[in-house]
Chains A and B, each alone.
Chain A
Amino acid sequence: MSIINAGFGGRRRSSRPDLPPGQYLTEDFPVLSAGPTPRIPLDRWSFTITDEAGKKTSWNWDEFNALPQEDFTVDIHCVTKWSKLGTTWRGVAIDTLFENIESAADFTMVHGYGGYTTNVPLEDLVDGKAWVAHTFDGEPLHPEHGGPARLVVPHLYFWKSAKWVNGIEMLPQDEPGFWEEAGYNMYGDPWREQRYQGD
C-alpha cells in the first residue's frame, strides 16, 4: 500500500533491469564512512585471516601483491540508494586468500583499520563472489574509498564491502558488525531491498 503522489513525475533515470528496487544511478562515486578517513602507510599494512581457533594467517603488502591478481567489473549498490554500474577493479580473490585456510565456521566478521566491522557469511565471500581490491578504475584505490585496499562484495549492499580492510575473522555463528548494530540488515541483499533490520 503506497501513497500516490499525484504531481510527482520523476526523472525515470532508474527504470532499467540492472538496478535493484529503490536505487538510482550515479556516475560519480559518493563517499560514505562513519568517521575520519584512516591513512595507512603501505609498509605497515597487513591482512590477516583468523580462524575460529585463533590461528592467524597474514600477508604484508608485498606478499599480498605477489598473489595472483584478478581484474573484475561489477555493479555496486549503496544502501543510501545510489548504484554505480560497470565499475572496474583489480585485486585478490577471497578464494585465493582462503586456499590454505582450514575452517568449519560458516560466518565471518570483516575488520578494517579504524575499527570498522561488518558481518558476511563465508559462502558470500567465496566461489568468485568477493575480492580484496587495491585498484579502482586503473588507479590505486583512494583512501576516501577505502585504500590501500578494501573488500568488494558486489552482490550485497556496499557497506558490506569494508573499506581499509585488514582482516577476516571466522565465526561459528552470525554476529552483527558496526552498521548492523546500528539498525541495518544482517545480510543486506539489494535485490530483496534488505536495508534495515526486519526487511
Chain B
Amino acid sequence: MAESRWETPSARTLVLDVPDWPGHLPGQHVDVRLTAPDGYSAQRSYSIASAWPKSGSEGGSEGGNVELTVQRVEDGEVSSYLDDILEVGQPIELRGPVGGWFVWRDEPAPVLLLGGGSGVVPLMSMIRARGDVRGKQPFRLIYSVRTPQDVLYADELKRRVRDDPGLDVHFVYTREAPEGWPEKPGRINVPTLNTHGWPPDFAPDVFICGPTPFVETAADILVALGHDPKKIRTERFGGTP
C-alpha cells in the first residue's frame, strides 16, 4: 500500500502500487487474500475505484496504482483489517482484475448509474474513466446514501459536476438529508428514477450496484418504466463480513 485516505469515518481508500498490474476496465473488481501467520486465510472481493489510464495518457505501460475503497463492515474480518490495521508500505495479496460483465467499455450510449451505499465505488471508476478519455456520453448518477456524512468522494463529485456539463449527480438520502433538502429522507422510488434517470427511449446503459434490496427495487422500477432488462447490469452485495 503506497498511501491511503479516509473517504468517511468508516471507508478508506487504499492506493496500491502493483508492479505488474495489467490494467483494468471500470467496474471490474479484485480479490484480496489475507493470510495470518498460522496459515489461516480469508478472501473477499472489492470493486476497483480508480480508472485505468488508456495508452497515451500515461504511456499505457504495465504496472501502476490501483485504488480500492473499503467500507468497514460490522464484524468484518477482512474489511476491518484493511481499514484499521494495514499500514503504508505493507503488502497485501491481490488477484485480478476480475469480471467482464459489469464494466463500462466507453460505448456511445448515455449511461445511468445507480449506486446504493458503497455500491458507488465501481460507478466512480466509470465516472473517472469517462473523465480521463473526455467521453461525450452523458452520465447520470443517482446515489442513495444514509446521511450526508456517508457520501463517498463528495468533494470530487462536486468538482466533476461543476466542471463537466455531461455529468449529473442526484443524491437520495435514506435516513437524514442535509438542511434545506427538498425531499424527505426515503428510499429510491419511481418519481426519482423517472425524473433523474434517462427515459427508456434513450436506451441508456444502466449499471446498478448496492445492497440486494436497493438493486432489486431499482431494477424493478426501471423495467416497469420500460427499460430493456438486457441493458440493465447489476452487481449486488449482501454486506457479508
Interface, chain A (partner B; CB < 8 A): 2-15, 22, 24, 26, 28, 30-38, 80-82, 114-115, 144, 178-179, 181-183, 196
B91 to chain A, nearest CB (A): 5
- Once A5-B92, A31-B212 are accepted as A-B contacts, the answer to whether A14 and B234 lie under 8 Å apart by CB is no
Q: How large is the interface on B (under 10, 10 to 19, 20 to 34, 35 or more residues)?
A: 35 or more
Using CB atoms, name the residue of chain A closest to B231: A35
Query: What is the distance, in angstroms, from B204's C-beta to the closest C-beta of chain A?
Result: 14
User: By CB atoms of chain B within 10 A, which of A2, A5, A182, A183 has the most?
Assistant: A5
Q: How far is the CB of A80 from chain B (nearest CB, A)?
A: 6
Find chain B residues with CB under 8 A from A11 CB: 42, 75, 77, 241
One digit per residue, 1 when the CB lies within 8 angstroms of any chain A CB and 0 when it does not, for chain B 16-34 equals 0000000000000000011
Say how far B43's CB is from chain A's closest CB, in angstroms: 5
CA distance A80 to B44 in the complex (A): 8
Please tell me if the beta carbons of A26 and B81 are within 8 angstroms of each other in the complex: no
Chain B 214-241 interface 0/1 with A at a Cβ cutoff of 8 Å (1 = within):
0010011011000001101110111011
Contacts of B81 in A (CB 8 A): 5, 7-8
Among the stretches B3-11, B97-105, B182-190, the one at the interface with A is B97-105
Q: Does B149 contact A (CB under 8 A)?
A: no
Residue B181, interface by CB 8 Å:
no
Q: 27 A–B contact pairs at CB < 8 A?
A: A2-B33, A3-B91, A3-B93, A5-B90, A7-B81, A8-B34, A8-B81, A9-B36, A10-B40, A10-B42, A11-B42, A12-B40, A14-B42, A22-B33, A24-B42, A24-B240, A30-B240, A33-B236, A35-B219, A36-B229, A82-B238, A144-B212, A178-B101, A181-B100, A182-B99, A182-B100, A196-B95
- Whose C-beta in chain A lies nearest to the C-beta of B102? A34
Contacts of B192 in A (CB 8 A): none
* B92 engages A81 (CB within 8 Å): no
Interface residue SS majority, chain A: loop
| Cα distance, A125 to B7, chains bound together (Å) | 47
Across-interface contacts of A4 in B (CB, < 8 A)? 35-37
Query: In this complex, what residue of A is CB-closest to B40?
Result: A10
Closest-CB distance, B111 to chain A (whole angstroms): 16
Chain A neighbourhood of B57, CB < 8 A: none
Q: Which residues on B sit within 8 Å (CB–CB) of A8?
A: 34-36, 81, 85
Which residues of B are found within 8 Å of A80, using beta-carbon distances?
45
Question: How distant is A166 from chain B, measured CB to nearest CB, in Å?
Answer: 15
| Residues of A with C-beta under 8 A to B101 | 34, 178-179, 182
Given the contacts A26-B240, A82-B240, A36 and B232 also touching, CB distance less than 8 Å? yes
Looking at the assembled complex, report how far the CB atom of A15 sits from the nearest CB atom of chain B, in whole angstroms. Answer: 7
Select B99's contact among A7, A24, A183, beta carbons within 8 Å.
Answer: A183
Tell me the smallest distance from the CB of A42 to a CB of chain B, in Å: 19
Residues on B with beta carbons closer than 8 Å to the beta carbon of A38: 229
Which residues of the other chain, A, contact B233 by a CB distance below 8 angstroms?
34-35
Q: How far is the CB of A176 from chain B (nearest CB, A)?
A: 11
* In contact, B35 and A144 (Cβ under 8 angstroms): no
Minimal beta-carbon separation of B13 from chain A (angstroms): 19
Measured between alpha carbons, how far is A182 from B219 in the docked complex, in Å? Answer: 21
